[in-house]
Amino acid sequence: MTIQWNTLNRRAALAGLAMATIVGPALAEGAPQVKFQTSLGDFVVELNPEKAPKTVENFLQYVKAKHYDGTIFHRVIPNFMVQGGGYTVKYDQKIMRPPVVLEANNGLKNDLGTIAMARTNEPNSATAQFFVNVKDNASLNARGPADGYTVFGRVVSGMETILKIKDVPTGSGGPFQTDAPKTPVLINSATLVK
């Protein structure tokens, strides 16, 4: 029994260490943090205004305006990313602010646990929608000044919530033929906590 208990404790400690490695240490003293409360749990992202100043300013304006409250994760691809921030549970698209300039060539990579801005094929088209990478996605990194997806922070707690979201069953929903959660994953609130 003692050996089995010690093995379980060791496994739990290793799992905690692995999760800390995914999330990593805080970016910088005083960096803004936003807490998301979702229907599957909470997570906190720490933003990097030094590397992506316009993107962070834009994102925080949406947070302060309560834009994300009541939106859903509308696109979930298990071996890629989870995306949200633009649609209500009825798939009504929320009103967006003007697009923000692309800041993808800032040295930050689309690695596991980072948060980045979603956009169309037009580089300077990001508005409110964001995604969290659920694996290292090197193909999304900038190779020049007019491509890539702007990383502007990373998850610093609650990565287990992101991993729950990535595993939800998906299918068609609203205007999307695939990748929409069959049971909506609701963002109840997004709040600046630091």
Question: What pLDDT is stored for residue 154 in this prediction?
Answer: 98
- CA pair distance 50, 20, nearest whole angstrom: 23
Question: What pLDDT is stored for residue 73 in this prediction?
Answer: 98
pLDDT per residue as tens, the chain (194 positions): 444 444 444 444 444 444 444 444 444 578 999 999 999 999 999 999 999 999 999 999 999 999 999 999 999 999 999 999 999 999 999 999 999 999 999 999 999 999 999 999 999 999 999 999 999 999 999 999 899 999 999 999 999 999 999 999 999 999 999 999 999 999 999 999 98
Q: What is the CATH number of domain 2-192?
A: 2.40.100.10
- CA pair distance 24, 28, nearest whole angstrom: 12
Instruction: Note the helical H segments in 51-139.
Output: 53-64
- Domain range annotation of the chain: 2-192
Question: What pLDDT is stored for residue 8 in this prediction?
Answer: 40
